Amino acid sequence: MSEVLHSPAEVKIWRHSKKGSVGFVPTMGALHAGHEELLRRARKENDFVVLSIFVNPTQFNDPTDLEKYPKTWEQDLEMAKRNGVDAILFPQYKDMYPDGYRYKVTENEYSKLLDGAHRPGHFDGVLSVVMKLFNIVSPTKAYFGEKDYQQMTLIQGMVQAFFMDLEVVPVPTVREKDGLAMSSRNTRLSKEQRALAPAIYKAITESASAEEAAAKLSSQGFAVDYVTDIGPRRFVAAKLGEVRLIDNVQI
Ligand code: PAF
């Protein structure tokens, strides 16, 4: 049975009543096979599993993207039950932001690159909400997909910088058969766009350079925000119509 809890206070009471490790999977809902993998890992490695579903407005720089973010509560609940989730945190904005977002967490270097350069304020919103969620849930381990590699790395850095008592566990990207990285935004692609989308993974894995990958994607009709190599990883963000897709691979 997955218990649905709405307020941070309820979750804290729930947490204090539990002895044992808690695996935490923070999400914005519209759960897919990538999230299911996070839940499976959390279930395997902990005594209890907490899932949060909260579409966090402070991390959306584009109001249309926020408005169109898919919501699939019934299916999400099914997936939670199927994977033995003990508690679901399903709060509202006023529960998460009693301060009206007067306080925020900012990282000043890595968060300014890649997605940060194209989505002003995005990582402030992510880090702030994740800090809040960690303080509410007090997890032993928290699970993040490597699809959002920059996000995962920034959260790991925040945990270290603020001496937070938990482990951030990176989980490899889950892909469709054709290579497209699983993402809640994929459901917003038209049939034609969905057929084109696997070109992203193909371009970043098969090109000799970031420039070559960017050129291939542009010539196929993608609006490329960036293809950038940092250390051993290649990162990409590109739009098909209104839908912005990201991915990254080890090179
Ligand atoms: O990756 C996401 O779904 C979100 O950025 C997160 C980590 C749940 C914070 O809102």
Rounded-to-integer distance, Cα 102 and Cα 117, Å: 23
Residue-wise pLDDT tens for the chain (251 aa)? Answer: 889 999 999 999 999 999 999 999 999 999 999 999 999 999 999 999 999 999 999 999 999 999 999 999 999 999 999 999 999 999 999 999 999 999 999 999 999 999 999 999 999 999 999 999 999 999 999 999 999 999 999 999 999 999 999 999 999 999 999 999 999 999 999 999 999 999 999 999 999 999 999 999 999 999 999 999 999 999 999 999 999 999 999 99
- Does ligand 1 come within 6 angstroms of the Cβ of 183? no
Q: Are 67 and 47 in contact (CB under 8 A)?
A: no
* Among 127, 145, 134, CA closest to 39: 145
CA distances (Å), origin 23, targets 45, 132, 164: 7, 16, 15
**CATH fold match for the domains 3-171 and 184-250:** no
Token output for 221? 């009709």
The pLDDT value recorded for residue 167 is 98
The pLDDT value recorded for residue 1 is 80
CATH assignment of 184-250, among 3.10.180.10, 3.40.50.150, 3.40.50.300, 3.30.1300.10: 3.30.1300.10
Residue 160 backbone dihedrals phi, psi, to 5 degrees: -70, -45
- Per-domain residue ranges of the chain: 3-171, 184-250
* Among 181, 184, 167, 173, CA closest to 24: 167
Of the candidates 16, 35, 118, 122, the residue annotated as catalytic is: 35
Cα torsion 196, 202, 203, 207 to 10°: value is: -160
- Please tell me whether residue 177 adopts helix, strand or coil conformation: coil
CATH class, range 3-171: alpha beta
Q: b/e per residue, 116-131, with b = 16+ CB within 10 A? A: beebeebbbbbbbbbb
Handedness of CA 222, 223, 229, 233 (dihedral sign): negative
Angle between helices 149-161 and 122-137 (to 10 degrees): 60
- Does ligand 1 come within 6 angstroms of the Cβ of 51? no
Task: Provide the whole-model pTM.
Answer: 0.97
- Residue 45 contacts by C-beta under 8 Å, 6 or more apart in sequence? 21, 23, 141, 169
With the most atoms of ligand 1 within 8 angstroms of its CB, the residue from 52, 148, 153, 183 to mutate is 148
> Is 35 part of the annotated catalytic residue set?
yes
Report the nearest atom of ligand 1 relative to the CA of 145. Answer: 1
- Does ligand 1 come within 6 angstroms of the Cβ of 28? yes
The residue whose two tokens read 């032993």 is 140
